[in-house]
Structure 1
Amino acid sequence: MPWAMALLFPFFIRIRKSFGLSDFDNGLLFALFSLCQFVSTPIIGRLSDKYGRRPLLIVSIAGTAVSFFMAAFAPSAIFLFLARALDGITAGNIPVASAVISDTTAPKDRARGFGILGASFGFGFIFGPAISAFTIGFGQSVPFMIAGVISIIATLCTILFLPETNTHMGEVSHGKLFDFAHLIGALKDKMVGMTLLISLIYSTAFSMFIYAFQPYSVKVLHLTPTQISIIFSCLGIVGLLSQIFLLHRLTQWFGVKRTFSSAIFLVMCVFTLLFFISSYVPFLIALTAMGLFNTPIGSLIQTILSQETDANSQGTIQGLNTSYVSIGQIIGPILGGAFATQAIGLPFLAAAACMCMCFFASFRILMPGYHKESAF
């Protein structure tokens, strides 16, 4: 739910303080969600291949709604941790939504389809922080409640308007719902495996950036939560424009994989610049470039994986990708916290190093020998 998470992001420092959480506790809160998501998303993706996208999407979004209301009325930090765990367990809406895109678009049009899905994140990052800026004075329960209401509306819209898109239900082979060997085995496929590794490293880099962004904004740039909300809304606008007007054209001109490699290189450059910036205006310019170049990467990863996967395994592969993303979201905050204790801007440089690895790895998928040999 991009709206909901974008709405809550500016409140995380305030939430940590109100529950008396240390930096380590806050890292555990992030990691718990990602750990639960790591386990649950392959299961939800596999179930959506077998039983259909629609019922799994309904359960997933409804679970997110419940978790937000739990957090809104959490009497203690333990209850807040339970709410985040539930959100992670039911966090299968993105891979299932990605599978819906795969079901309903031809392979050559999937970059545009995933771009539209990515544009929904752009809308979320426009309106979520804007709502956050207006509600920031009403207490920390209010944004959780608004996020819960948005999730309920999304659940109802799914029930009322989304048809079933999986025409291959039941064709998936029976097996374990969560198979760790399958998670590792996916790496054996050249194209899929390399793309999943890039997804993992990219997720680690971006998680380090997200984890470091708020303390850097407060301690170095001296920004208020309202100003942080406005910045995220501006980033959402840039990201939305990138998804709508740039992504499809670039993939048509240069191809999905070349566009992917170029976007990774440009984000690496932005992360490097952020390490050397300590004033507001240059930081804002760099973040604008980040919104422009970073937003398409997730959509391009989904496109490559979808094009390399059979029709009856789209939910499975998108679930596996989300699991690798979750691993990065566990590692990233831990590394980001460790680097930030040495120098508050060091996570940006570490993120740039990760993107450098992604950039060189992306050359491999451009090689003619890297093609579908598929286990999926």
Structure 2
Amino acid sequence: MGFIMVAVLIDFLAVGLIIPVLPALVGQFTANPAEQTRWYGWVAFTYAAASFVSAPMLGALSDRYGRRPVLLLGFCGLALNFFATALATGLWMLLASRIVGGAMQANAAVANAYVADITPPEQRARRFGLLGAMFGIGFILGPVMGGLLGGIDLRLPFFVAGTLALLNLLYGVFVLPESLPAERRRAVTWSAANPLSSLRALARLKGVGLLMPVLACVGLAQFTLYTVWVLYTTFKFGWGPTQNGWSLFAVGTVAALVQGVLLGRILKRVTPQRLAVLALCSAMVANIGYGLATEGWMIYAIILMNLLGNTVGAALQSLVSGAASGSEQGQTLGAVSGLSNLMAVIAPALATPLLSTVSHLPRGDWRIGAPMFFCAALLAAALLMAVLHFRAQPRSAPPSTPTPA
């Protein structure tokens, strides 16, 4: 378990490093903010689409050939992606490298399978929580490190990320053992490699009802915010990589605090249904605040005030999990992950054209917040559907406390 935790931490630390600087790197090959936004949208879209398509394929390949070779392939691909991005001389090189990076980043699903292989069922929740903590630490430390390095040289974070990926590859070659014995391997099937197959199972699950479109709206809002955050703060406040790195550090730290410390205490006082409603309200107001903010410090104030907004994913996941039987938990939560990945593909296609239409406006103009208002509208729709769903459901014992995402 220690081996895979270190590997995942290095992996996501490397990914987090490039978040504050990638939009600025795209800007080096474009003539104006609108063009920069459009091309960054394509870069984000190709990355998410490659990850969406490859995740079930890599998972199926790991079931057939073992976890270790697939993980090593992922580390190698990420190193190639980072170095190619650092040396890019044109947009086509950025797009090609991000396709490789998205496909290889899907090895996070293989890491989860690795943990399941080596862990007894009664200990899996705790160990998945540890793995989630490594994801979180990587995304907390990575952006602020990337912002500081990007303040020195815009391409430096990509070289550092590539070096970390190479270290991960060497670590895997010499330390990481195989977790899946030959007798438990199975042949690759097209159904297992189909990224949409699990969504049909989620739609057929009794008791989910409107929660599926609620999850879709929440996921689309979250990935829209993730996609435009750096460009939005650059256009609105003139922030550079360093300021954006610190803002993402604040977002990650607050989310980790809420999910790791406060969530369990909150659920002792309110049901997951009520928490979902309160969290959706908080997130909706926060996105309106992001869009209306006129000074950079306001963003930090909103991040701190939006504590409940960080619980919406865990609350909804708990409710969906509660609608599935014990034998359907893996398939159901896998489908939730697949739906989230699909929203990650759709978000750049919607968010960046919207931001592009207002990118010419002067710094501080409230209309630059159009993508944030779009997120708020999505969350308002999710809130309405969630309330309708809860009112239609018979009262029953609340689901068990969810493991923080």
TM-score by length of 2: 0.75
Residue 8 of structure 1: aligned partner: 18
Residue 147 of structure 2: aligned partner: 133
Letter in 2 for 1:337: T
Match of 1:80 among 94, 99, 111: 94
Match of 1:357 among 375, 378, 381: 381
8 A Cα contact 2:251 2:303, kept in partner? yes
Match status 1:71 vs 2:85:
yes
Residue 237 of structure 1: aligned partner: 253
Q: Distance in 1 between matches of 2:275 and 2:128?
A: 14
8 A Cα contact 1:124 1:236, kept in partner? no
Letter in 2 for 1:345: G
Deviation at 1:137, TM superposition (A): 4.1
Distance 1:77 1:241, change over 3 A: same
Decide which moves more: 70-79 or 343-352.
70-79
Deviation at 1:369, TM superposition (A): 9.3
Q: Distance in 1 between matches of 2:297 and 2:277?
A: 28
Distance 1:161 1:243, change over 3 A: farther
Q: Provide the secondary structure at the position in 2 that maps to 1:179.
A: coil
Letter in 2 for 1:127: L
Residue 340 of structure 2: aligned partner: 325
Q: Distance in 2 between matches of 1:172 and 1:197?
A: 33
Q: Distance in 2 between matches of 1:191 and 1:108?
A: 27
Letter in 1 for 2:232: Y
Give deviations 1:282-313, integer Å, cap 9, x for gaps.
221112344x4454555566666677476798
Q: Provide the secondary structure at the position in 2 that maps to 1:136.
A: helix
Q: Distance in 2 between matches of 1:309 and 1:84?
A: 38
Deviation at 1:29, TM superposition (A): 0.9
- Identity across matched positions, percent: 24
Q: Provide the secondary structure at the position in 1 that maps to 2:89.
A: coil
Residue 273 of structure 1: aligned partner: 289
Distance 1:313 1:49, change over 3 A: farther
Distance 1:162 1:318, change over 3 A: farther
8 A Cα contact 2:82 2:97, kept in partner? yes
Q: Distance in 1 between matches of 2:13 and 2:114?
A: 19
Deviation at 1:77, TM superposition (A): 1.8
Deviation at 1:205, TM superposition (A): 0.7
8 A Cα contact 1:271 1:348, kept in partner? yes
Residue 228 of structure 1: aligned partner: 244
Match of 1:142 among 156, 164, 179: 156
Give deviations 1:339-360, integer Å, cap 9, x for gaps.
3325311111110121223334
Q: Distance in 1 between matches of 2:212 and 2:60?
A: 17
Residue 111 of structure 2: aligned partner: 97
Decide which moves more: 191-200 or 124-133.
191-200
Deviation at 1:197, TM superposition (A): 4.1
Q: Distance in 2 between matches of 1:224 and 1:82?
A: 25
Distance 1:214 1:52, change over 3 A: same
Residue 362 of structure 2: aligned partner: none
Matches within 5 A, 1:95-244: 95-100=109-114, 104=119, 110=125, 114-157=128-171, 160-161=175-176, 164=179, 169-170=184-185, 174-179=189-194, 182-186=197-201, 187-190=203-206, 197-244=213-260
Letter in 2 for 1:225: P
Letter in 2 for 1:143: P
Letter in 2 for 1:164: S
Deviation at 1:276, TM superposition (A): 2.6
Distance 1:109 1:86, change over 3 A: closer
8 A Cα contact 1:42 1:320, kept in partner? no
Q: Distance in 2 between matches of 1:257 and 1:167?
A: 44
Deviation at 1:134, TM superposition (A): 2.9
Decide which moves more: 16-25 or 348-357.
16-25
Structure 2 unmatched runs, 5+: 1-10, 359-366, 400-405
TM-score by length of 1: 0.80
Deviation at 1:234, TM superposition (A): 2.3
Q: Provide the secondary structure at the position in 1 that maps to 2:237.
A: coil
Letter in 1 for 2:71: L
Q: Distance in 2 between matches of 1:102 and 1:32?
A: 30
Match status 1:26 vs 2:36:
no
Match status 1:339 vs 2:363:
no
8 A Cα contact 1:4 1:128, kept in partner? yes
Deviation at 1:48, TM superposition (A): 4.0
Deviation at 1:114, TM superposition (A): 4.9
Letter in 2 for 1:119: A
Cα RMSD, aligned residues only = 3.8
Structure 1 unmatched runs, 5+: none
Decide which moves more: 328-337 or 51-60.
51-60
8 A Cα contact 2:196 2:338, kept in partner? no
Larger RCO, structures 1/2 (Cα 8 Å, 6+ apart)? 1
8 A Cα contact 2:14 2:142, kept in partner? yes
8 A Cα contact 1:114 1:300, kept in partner? no
Larger of the two Rg values belongs to structure: 2
Aligned residues: 369
Distance 1:275 1:105, change over 3 A: farther
Distance 1:173 1:163, change over 3 A: closer
